[in-house]
Amino acid sequence: MTGDIKPTGAHLVGSAPYDNAEEMFRASMEHLGDHLKRLPDGEVGERDTWIRWQNKRIGQSAQMRVSEVENLYVPFPPYEIVPGVTSADEIEFPNLGYGDAAIESYVVFDSLAREGVIPGNKRFMAGLPTPLSVATFYVEPRSRDLFEQAYGRALGQELQKMLETIPDHRLSIQWEMVSEFGLLEGLMENHLGDTMLDQITTRLARLIDLVPANVEAGVHLCYGDSGHKHFIEPTDTGHLVDVANGTAEKTTKPIAWIHLPVPRERDDAAYFAPLANLALGAGTELYLGLVHATDGKEGTIRRLKAASSVISDFGIATECGLGRRERETIPGLLGIHQELCC
């Protein structure tokens, strides 16, 4: 038992091993409907491994080519900008696909809402990667700056496509930041210089401010999930807090929620200690990735108690998405969320 410790709600990060969005929506409502504010579509189909599907789309740009530089964390050689391109305005990408995928899933969401399966107070959540995350994983350092500008422009067009179809009051956008922590931890080559943290938080704040007033904007901060492993194990939540605080200070739009990872082994107060300095806006929900399949409810309770020794008023989630798991394990994972939230 958790005693008086009770999470304020649950959050689903995005991915799940379902065949289609309807299965994801129905499973989410069946297990966690009362505890969720937003429903992702499971990142079904070609989107099942976060941004890996974007690798081929990047390669379809006439201004990008495969580089001979080795990639450390990603099993693909990085891209570089072709010689002669000197401006981000010259770089064009095909349809990145995020807008079309969100619109297709929202049609299902809206249909289930009309059937009464999804209540009117729930929002459809679409996840988008930060351009810097994509650039750092898939582009060699010398080309990242121009690529990031061009990809960011294309991603803005994807967001605009969503906004033209999905009602503002039913939409949430989750900006997903991953490789930035590889930069902050010194694992990946730093192309940002001595002002790295300031540049990272400035970029994220601009992305949040890109989202219209009536559309929710939240943040998923991540240390990677390839093979259910981080690219590096964080010592504590220090970098996560630095990014969250720096971003919150710079945004003009409220951040609806922030999700932070918690490694399975970290049920000690030392990991959570920097959260004492977390300075989010009054309306920002905090979700901690306390739920792990490998140690179930007991491990989640240990991490929950450790987190509660430092901070109160937070919800629970898995460390990353539910994807890349066996489908039969998902009801049990969602059941842990449900039991601890009740």
Whether 261 and 221 have beta carbons less than 8 Å apart is answered as: yes
β-pairing verdict for 38-39 and 123-129: parallel
Whether 311 and 284 have beta carbons less than 8 Å apart is answered as: no
Mean pLDDT within 245-267: 96
**pLDDT at position 1, please?**
42
Asked whether residue 99 is assigned to any structural domain, the reply reads: yes
Question: 326: burial class by Cβ within 10 Å (0-12, 13-18, 19+)?
Answer: exposed
Nearest to 128 by CA among 157, 169, 93, 165: 157
- Which stretches within the chain are classed as H helix? 21-32, 52-59, 98-115, 131-138, 144-163, 179-184, 196-210, 238-250, 269-272, 296-308, 330-341
**pLDDT at position 342, please?**
76
Asked whether residue 127 is assigned to any structural domain, the reply reads: yes
Asked whether residue 43 is assigned to any structural domain, the reply reads: yes
What is the per-residue pLDDT across 35-76, written as a single tens digit (0 to 9) for each?
Answer: 999 999 999 999 988 999 999 999 999 999 999 887 767 778
* Tokens 């981000």, located at residue: 88
Asked whether residue 268 is assigned to any structural domain, the reply reads: no
% of the chain at pLDDT higher than 70: 96
Asked whether residue 138 is assigned to any structural domain, the reply reads: yes
Whether 99 and 157 have beta carbons less than 8 Å apart is answered as: yes
Cα angle 304-201-176, degrees, rounded to a multiple of 5: 60
**pLDDT at position 45, please?**
93
> Which H or E run includes 209?
helix 196-210
Around Cβ 331, how many Cβ atoms within 10 Å? Answer: 12
Asked whether residue 338 is assigned to any structural domain, the reply reads: no
What is the per-residue pLDDT across 170-205, written as a single tens digit (0 to 9) for each?
Answer: 999 999 999 999 999 998 888 999 999 999 999 999
Domain around 241: 21-223+232-256
Asked whether residue 280 is assigned to any structural domain, the reply reads: no
As for how many domains the chain has, the answer is 1
- List phi, psi (to 5°) of 176: -115, 115
What is the per-residue pLDDT across 123-170, written as a single tens digit (0 to 9) for each?
Answer: 999 999 999 999 999 999 999 999 999 999 999 999 999 999 999 999
% of the chain at pLDDT higher than 90: 85
Tell me which of 96-110, 191-205, 230-244 is least confident.
230-244
> pTM for the complete prediction?
0.95
Asked whether residue 311 is assigned to any structural domain, the reply reads: no
Give the chain's mean pLDDT. Answer: 93
Confidence category of residue 229, pLDDT binned at 50, 70, 90: low
Q: Does the structure show a pLDDT above 70 at 225? A: no
What is the per-residue pLDDT across 280-322, written as a single tens digit (0 to 9) for each?
Answer: 988 999 999 999 988 999 999 999 999 999 999 999 999 988 8
